[in-house]
Amino acid sequence: MKINSYIKKSISRQFIALICFFILLFLFGAAVLTGLQKSTNDGFISNRQKFIDKRALAEEIETHLNNALFNIRGYLAFDNEELRDEVNQEEQDIAVLLKQFKKVAKTDKDSEMYKKLVSFNEYIFDDAFPKAVAFHEAGNTDKVKAIANGGATAKINNLKKELIAYKKYLDTKLTEVVTNLETDNSKLQFYFFLYSVLLLVIVYIIGRMMVLKIGKPLTDFAVAANVIAKGEDAEIQVEANRKDELGTLSVAFSKMYKKIQEKEQDLVAQNEELIAQQEELHAQQSELEEALEKVKHNEETLYRRNHLINSLSHSFNKQQLLNSIITNMCELISADRGIIVLTDKDAFAAFGISTTGADQFKTFLFEGMYFRLLEQKSPFIIKRELEISEKAYHIENGYVYDLYIPIFSSTDEIAAIMMFSRFSDRFSEFQMDEFSALAKQIGLSLDTIKLFEETERAKELNQDILNNVQEGIQLVGTNGETLQVNTKFCEMFAQDKNWHDFVGKSWDVWTKQIEATFGDDCSLLAYIKDSLQNRLEQSFTYQFQETGKVMKVYAEDLYRNETVKVGTVFVYRDMTKEYEVDKMKSEFVSTVSHELRTPLASILGFTELLINRELKKERQLKYLSTIYGEANRLTLLINDFLDVQRMEAGKQTYEKKYLEVLSILRKIVDNQKVNAIKHKITIKSDLNQAIILGDKLKIEQAFTNIIGNAIKYSPEGGTIQISIYEETETLNVSVKDEGLGIPEGESAKLFNKFYRIDNSDRRKIGGTGLGLAIVQEIVNAHGGKITVQSQLGVGSNFTLSFPKLSMEVQTSNNKEYTQGKVSYRIAVVEDDYSLAELITQELKDFGFEVHYYKSGQEALKAINEYIPDAIVLDIMLEEDDINGWNIMKRLKQRKETKDVPIVISTALDEKEKGYALGAMDYLVKPYRTSELSRTIMQTLLKMGKKGQVLIPHTEDDQATDTK
């Protein structure tokens, strides 16, 4: 009873007692189930082992019997004594096994099997085997066979069957043991399930007891507390005889409830007094809220201004600034949409407005509220009804409030206009001053952007000017840092960099690039360093050893306001060409003085001899011939100078005719053979004819210079091979020698005037350096080009390429053509007789057959009867009802005349119309008639003349024509 009382005084003790009871019950049930499980397993193992042992003995006895029978047969068959001994040994082993089997034979089946094994053993080893041995030793084989046939074999077979049946019996028993084990395990599982259910029931009972003894009273306490909190009477129903914590709590709760009721009356009195004080505080709070509202309004105003000002100061990009302004302004003034447009440029930014709406606002910017803003110079608000497009799904009438704000520049002009719309409520009038203040801030920001853009444009312009200067320019600060460079400077010292990569670099950084360019020679850096330290020299000249380039550097200090030194400007000028020109001029003067003085000395010397001495006639003729030759030499030299001067001035004229190249080359070779005693000159041509259009004298001069150089620069002789061949578009003449050759890298300079390769072998040869320059000018004037391939010490190959002329074989004996020559028929339509006569004469001099027509009708009739090869057409034909445009249209409509080339010769400058109607060329009067003849000839040569071949005029033909 004491223990029971002790437990009931504490809820925790009651809970622990229940838990201990549950644990003991759990342990008891677990022990019982575990014992049953162990007993079942032990019985299964014991029974199973017995059957396994029996089966093992049976198999072992069977094995020994089989071995014994095998050995008996072996002995009787082979008379092997060892096998008989092994039979005796097997007999002993079987006897031992039978004794073991007797011990484990517990069932009737086991005993029966034991008796059969003993009986068989006695028959074999005590009766049959001894007799068989005796008969065998006596040599009586038939007796031995009689024993086997008399029943021994049958008994052996029967025993084997019995053993097999016995083993099957044992296997069946083993299966029964396993089946019994499974049945026992199933029972144990069922017992465990019942035990688990019992435990759950006990747990449920314990839980319910705890709920009833603890949970329900606590719930009652909570309900009572809520009732008391509502100010109502409550009753706590707890067992009066409870001695645990809940009983103590119920007593304390009752006492507390009584005290609360006592104090409630005091609180009611105090509450009435507090209500009066609260009403007084509420009045004071209203006053404070009004003051706080004003403070918040002022704070928001300052915040909006600061936010906008910060957004204005963070960008120098105009578009970004406009986007920031309109976005922040819409947020600050609670506008639903807005736009800002600059008045001087097509720049704007919008918020909540479509592109169409923005374009419309910009289009009518100066026709809307612009003039009111200009006059009023302050923001204003317009109230209007909502448009249908602004109502969305609203069907009732509504209003929108548009706010216009002008932004003035520093010159008091409207720089931009802002417009905002609000659909919810109108803009308050007291915010207008704030809007004006914000507009002033925006105006200042736009002025700053404008100044920044102007500064940037000025900087870009200055940089562009510097970049277009052909000298490298570098501004170095007083501390050695690079302040500004141009692109030419970068090309000189760092081709893979641009001017941005140098600006702001310190002395150590950018001088490394200079050192990489100049190598170990630091003379330029020394000059720059001295210039920065005010030890200025007028200039510095440097020649690169590897490339031969010459650079001249100038330095000049840069001052601001003539007092503050900003830095030093360095100008890097590439003087290579000037240096080479000066060098060539010096060489030219030396060469010319030599080339002129040598023949002059001969002329003066021989002339002096002729004057001062009486000489024989033969001697006089010899001296005069020498003087004549030297005079021709001087003439050729002076002619070269004059040719170069005319070519440079663009005054060189060419009288182009059809020339047969092969005959010209043969003539030149014949003339040059006098100076080519050591040389073998050959001409190779696979062409039937090699015809070009050119000036005969100039072409001869070009070929003479090239072949003369080949002879002159092959002082040891050798073969000079002249080849004539065609390519796709050109007729080529190459002159290949086996002379000195040209050093690598000098080929590009060969065609410069006065240039001569600086080599002692070539200095002995002489020359002015003008020959190849003249050849290049002549070839270029004929629409060709000259190229050179050379190897030092092997020889050179100069190739002159001319436009190829394609002619076809003559097949017609038309009376309009002269025998052996092509005669192009040209129709000239011109109403001005003087001009027509001039054009006709020019074309006839060029070898054309010309037919002149003054009127358009006459020309059309003649052209339709006999189609010309080309037409020279005037547009304005006064004495006719048809003009040049109509003639062109009619000719292009006819199949027979649509491909005839037409060259327009008119005073009207309507080239586009002429080309559109199909003109081959369009010449505006006045023009040179030679230009007309060349245009027609080039056109006809490109188009060809069907059924004809061009046979060029020979000198005899020209003489005949002249006659």
| Per-residue pLDDT at 637 exceeds 80 | no
Peptide bond into 901 cis (omega under 30): no
In our burial notation (b when 16+ CB lie closer than 10 A, e otherwise), range 865-902 reads eebbbbbbbbbebeebeebbbebbeebeeeeebeebbb
Q: pLDDT band for position 950 (50/70/90)?
A: very low
- CA 455 – CA 449 distance, rounded (Å): 10
Q: What is the pLDDT of residue 624?
A: 87
Of 409, 426, 455, which residue sits at a domain end?
Answer: 455
* Closest by CA position to 375, among listed 404, 350, 399: 404
Q: Specify the number of domains making up the chain.
A: 5
Sign of the dihedral defined by the CA atoms of residues 577, 583, 586, 590, in that order: negative
Q: Percentage of the chain with pLDDT > 90?
A: 5
Residues 75 and 137 both lie in one domain: yes
CA Rg value for the chain: 66
- Which of 8-22, 103-117, 193-207, 315-329 is the least confident region? 8-22
- Which of 7-16, 322-331, 804-813, 888-897 is the least confident region? 804-813
Q: What is the pLDDT of residue 954?
A: 34
Other Cβ atoms within 10 Å of 149 Cβ, number: 11
Q: Are 433 and 413 in contact (CB under 8 A)?
A: no
Q: What is the pLDDT of residue 949?
A: 31
Strands (E), 283-367: 337-342, 348-351
Residues 790 and 676 both lie in one domain: yes
Q: Are 939 and 921 in contact (CB under 8 A)?
A: yes
Both structure tokens of 467:
């970049």
Across the range 674-684, mean pLDDT stands at: 84
Q: What is the pLDDT of residue 960?
A: 34
For residue 426, what is the DSSP state?
P
Residues 498 and 418 both lie in one domain: no
Q: What is the pLDDT of residue 817?
A: 35
Across the range 713-728, mean pLDDT stands at: 88
| Per-residue pLDDT at 19 exceeds 60 | yes
Q: Are 483 and 476 in contact (CB under 8 A)?
A: yes
Residues 908 and 935 both lie in one domain: yes
For every residue of 822-867, DSSP letters joined together read ---EEEEE-S-HHHHHHHHHHHHHTT-EEEEESSHHHHHHHHHHS-
- CA 630 – CA 596 distance, rounded (Å): 10
Q: Percentage of the chain with pLDDT > 70?
A: 83
CATH at residue 940: 3.40.50.2300
CATH at residue 426: 3.30.450.40
Residues 46 and 129 both lie in one domain: yes
Across the range 386-401, mean pLDDT stands at: 79
Q: What is the pLDDT of residue 763?
A: 53
In our burial notation (b when 16+ CB lie closer than 10 A, e otherwise), range 25-60 reads eeeebeeeeeeeeeebeeebeebeebbeebbebbee
Angle between helix 696-712 and helix 771-781 axes, rounded to 10 deg: 140
2 CB-side CA count, 13 A: 0
Per-residue pLDDT tens over the stretch 269-317: 788 888 888 888 888 888 888 888 888 877 776 776 677 677 666 667 8
Per-residue pLDDT tens over the stretch 593-621: 666 777 787 788 888 888 888 888 888 88
- Which of left, alpha, beta for 235 (phi over 0: left; psi -120 to 50: alpha)? beta
Of 455, 487, 511, which residue sits at a domain end?
Answer: 455
Residues 566 and 707 both lie in one domain: no
Other Cβ atoms within 10 Å of 777 Cβ, number: 21
| Per-residue pLDDT at 252 exceeds 80 | no
Place of tokens 């914000």: 438
Is the model more confident about 767 or about 22? 22
Q: What is the pLDDT of residue 734?
A: 93
For every residue of 383-406, DSSP letters joined together read EEEPPHHHHTT--S--EEEEEEEE
* Closest by CA position to 120, among listed 92, 87, 160: 160
Residues 844 and 906 both lie in one domain: yes
Q: Is 961 part of any domain?
A: no
| C-alpha angle 384-390-395 in degrees, rounded to nearest 5 | 90
Q: Is 620 part of any domain?
A: no
Per-residue pLDDT tens over the stretch 450-489: 888 888 888 888 888 888 888 888 888 888 888 888 888 8
Other Cβ atoms within 10 Å of 862 Cβ, number: 15
CATH at residue 708: 3.30.565.10
The Cα-based distances of 130 to 61, 126, 149, 409 in angstroms read: 21, 6, 16, 148
The Cα-based distances of 504 to 484, 493, 499, 514, 582 in angstroms read: 8, 17, 10, 16, 38
Q: What residues contact residue 681 under an 8 Å CB cut-off, 6+ apart? A: 669, 672, 673, 707, 719, 720, 722
Q: What is the pLDDT of residue 820?
A: 38
The Cα-based distances of 695 to 649, 659, 661 in angstroms read: 19, 8, 12
Q: What pairs with residue 554 in β-bridges?
A: 539, 571
Residues 14 and 130 both lie in one domain: yes
Q: What is the pLDDT of residue 724?
A: 93
- CA 204 – CA 242 distance, rounded (Å): 23
Share the mean pLDDT of the chain.
79
Residues 873 and 932 both lie in one domain: yes
Measured torsion, CA atoms of residues 592, 597, 602, 607, in degrees rounded to the nearest 10: 120
Q: Are 667 and 660 in contact (CB under 8 A)?
A: no
Across the range 13-20, mean pLDDT stands at: 78
Q: Which amino acid is at 766?
A: G
Residues 434 and 473 both lie in one domain: no
- CA 607 – CA 545 distance, rounded (Å): 50
Per DSSP, the three-state class of 920 is coil
Phi, psi dihedrals of residue 234, rounded to the nearest 5°? -135, 150
Q: What is the pLDDT of residue 868?
A: 92
The Cα-based distances of 263 to 197, 227, 231, 259, 274 in angstroms read: 56, 17, 12, 6, 16
The Cα-based distances of 447 to 249, 369, 377, 416, 811 in angstroms read: 83, 23, 18, 11, 85
The Cα-based distances of 745 to 35, 86, 680, 757, 870 in angstroms read: 113, 115, 29, 11, 49
* Closest by CA position to 158, among listed 119, 129, 127: 119
Across the range 746-770, mean pLDDT stands at: 64
Is the model more confident about 766 or about 810? 766
Q: Are 52 and 68 in contact (CB under 8 A)?
A: no
* Closest by CA position to 340, among listed 419, 440, 435: 419
Q: Is 301 part of any domain?
A: no
Q: Is 603 part of any domain?
A: no
Q: Is 288 part of any domain?
A: no
- Which of 281-290, 292-301, 682-691, 779-788 is the least confident region? 292-301
Q: Is 420 part of any domain?
A: yes
Q: What is the pLDDT of residue 495?
A: 60
Of 574, 601, 624, which residue sits at a domain end?
Answer: 574
Q: Is 273 part of any domain?
A: no
- CA 208 – CA 202 distance, rounded (Å): 10
Strand-pair category, 795-803 with 785-791: antiparallel
Residues 193 and 334 both lie in one domain: no
In our burial notation (b when 16+ CB lie closer than 10 A, e otherwise), range 385-398 reads eeeeeeeeeeeeee
- CA 417 – CA 408 distance, rounded (Å): 9
Q: Is 265 part of any domain?
A: no
* Closest by CA position to 936, among listed 917, 919, 955: 919
Phi, psi dihedrals of residue 211, rounded to the nearest 5°? -60, -45
- CA 305 – CA 303 distance, rounded (Å): 5
Long-range contacts of 216-222 (CB under 8 A, 24+ apart): 217/246, 217/250, 218/246, 221/249, 221/250, 221/253
| Per-residue pLDDT at 341 exceeds 60 | yes
Range of the domain at 854: 825-944
Residues 161 and 99 both lie in one domain: yes
